[in-house]
Amino acid sequence: MPRRQGYAPLIALVAGTAALAAGVAFAGSLLFSGSGPRSQQAAPSDPRSVARTPAAPAHSTGLWLGTWAAAPTTGTIDTYNGGDLTRRTIRNVVHTSIGGDAARITLSNLFGTHPLVVDHATVNTRPVTFRGAAAVTVAAGGQIVSDPVLVPVAADADLVVTLRTPTAEGPVTLHPGTHQTSYVEDGRGTRRTTDWRYLTAVDVHNETAAGTIAVIGDSLTAGTGSTLDANSRWPDVLADRLRGRYGVVNAGIAGNRILRDGRGVRASARFDRDVLDVAGVKTVVIALGINDVQQFPQETDPQRIADALRSMTRRAHARGLRAVGATLMPYEGFRTWTPARNAVREQVNELIRAGGIFDSVIDFDKAVRDPYHPARLLPAYDCGDHLHLNDTGYQRLGSLVDLPALQHDRPVSDQF
């Protein structure tokens, strides 16, 4: 099923936001079970071990499920318009995996050093409230989950979450390099952006899906090399194949590592926030390790990487979740490749394939390597830099995932 790429309806939706929002009221913020009151101002936290997202427990009935998410990566002073962050309207465009009859959003000020004030928020033009109030203040280092919004959310469709920040001082908590066009508007006009600002999750009220699958990874999961606005990342392909049975959220961060901070907090430290605390999560997919191998300083001990992956599986098991993992793909021809680093990658893959790390293994390496030159990507899948994939390559990864292996009701391994 192809991902939707039409933007005429989106433009019309954005244009009508203010007019419709003024006439729509939301009542009954505690409409659905499990949506009890939450603090209007989130408590500060250490950016290295961020606040956890309030979410349904792993064995809940799954009424609130993650349909989309983005891992907060960094905080930056936006240099557009001289760095002035005030009087801005941010239109984050995100793509859903499953639909529902209501939504709630998570806003993060994780990397901010000042309180974040949002005085107006909408989901597809429907006004959002926070404990019944239209405005909310999120403490530096904190986050907050909105009240439920009675809005129909379509599966496999673009959703616009609009935020107005009248007095924001920054830094802006964002996820850069989204491969999706969003918009920022101020007194000087509207500009396009490929960053998601402040928004880190959209959950939907859904009574038919079995749960949500949370994928944690690096640039190969985030979609580097994929076509802008095509929603052709491999987790998008997986969501299409699941046909509404599970939501899929993508916690990939370009440049992310397991054992060291780099681009974004290291995966082992953000695992609870970005994966285990996703609403309705049932299964975890882990596709990490190549940056530990190829980025400076390089990890030269494959056992340390394997042990870190095994530790994430154990943490998933402690929540009653399945853990599925992927082998590390080849990258000869990329600027950091050396025979020694490739040997580490191959040893990690041997440990993964031997079992005892994940409940199930997806052999990404075998699927995309050149059979005549196994240290390289197959040219048909290579975006051109010899590390990242093109849309065809990501289609291959998404089609490779064994759907039965994702089922959360299958017994987890007891050998870890």
Per-residue pLDDT for the chain (416 aa), expressed as one digit of tens each?
A: 444 454 434 443 444 443 333 333 333 333 443 333 333 444 444 443 433 344 333 333 448 999 999 999 998 877 665 656 667 999 999 999 999 999 999 999 999 999 999 999 999 999 999 999 999 999 999 999 999 999 999 999 999 999 999 976 779 999 999 999 999 998 889 999 999 999 999 999 999 999 999 999 999 999 999 999 999 999 999 999 999 999 999 999 999 999 999 888 999 999 999 999 999 999 999 999 999 999 999 999 999 999 999 999 999 999 999 999 999 999 999 999 999 999 999 999 999 999 999 999 999 999 999 999 999 999 999 999 999 999 999 999 999 999 999 987 665 554 43
Q: Which residue has tokens 């039965």?
A: 404
pLDDT of 356 reads 96
DSSP H or E segment with residue 351: helix 339-353
**Amino acid at the residue 162:** T
Task: Provide CB contacts within 8 A for 318, sequence distance 6+.
Answer: none
Task: Provide CB contacts within 8 A for 376, sequence distance 6+.
Answer: 330, 331, 332, 333, 369, 370, 382, 386
**Residue 190's closest CA among 17, 409, 386, 390?**
17
Task: Give bridge partners of residue 91 from the DSSP assignment.
Answer: 162, 183
DSSP reduced 3-state for 63: coil
Identify each DSSP E strand in 322-386 by its residue range.
322-326, 360-362, 369-370, 373-377
DSSP state of 161: E
Q: Is the CB of residue 160 less than 8 Å from the CB of residue 70? A: no
pLDDT of 186 reads 86
pLDDT of 37 reads 31
Q: Is 241 exposed, middle or buried (0-12, 13-18, 19+ CB in 10 A)?
A: middle
CA gap 304, 124 in Å, rounded: 45
Q: Which residue has tokens 């998404």?
A: 398
pLDDT of 262 reads 83
Calculate the alpha carbon distances from 268 to 46, 54, 295, 402 in Å: 15, 20, 17, 25
Q: Which residue has tokens 């191998």?
A: 293
Q: Is the CB of residue 101 less than 8 Å from the CB of residue 63? A: no
Calculate the alpha carbon distances from 390 to 55, 192, 378 in Å: 34, 23, 11
Calculate the alpha carbon distances from 108 to 15, 282, 286 in Å: 26, 23, 23
Provide the edge-to-edge strand list for the sheet that holds 172-175.
74-76, 172-175, 196-197
Q: Is 319 exposed, middle or buried (0-12, 13-18, 19+ CB in 10 A)?
A: middle
DSSP state of 231: -
Calculate the alpha carbon distances from 117 to 73, 134, 137, 141, 366 in Å: 20, 11, 5, 13, 48
Q: Is the CB of residue 185 less than 8 Å from the CB of residue 92? A: no
DSSP H or E segment with residue 304: helix 302-318
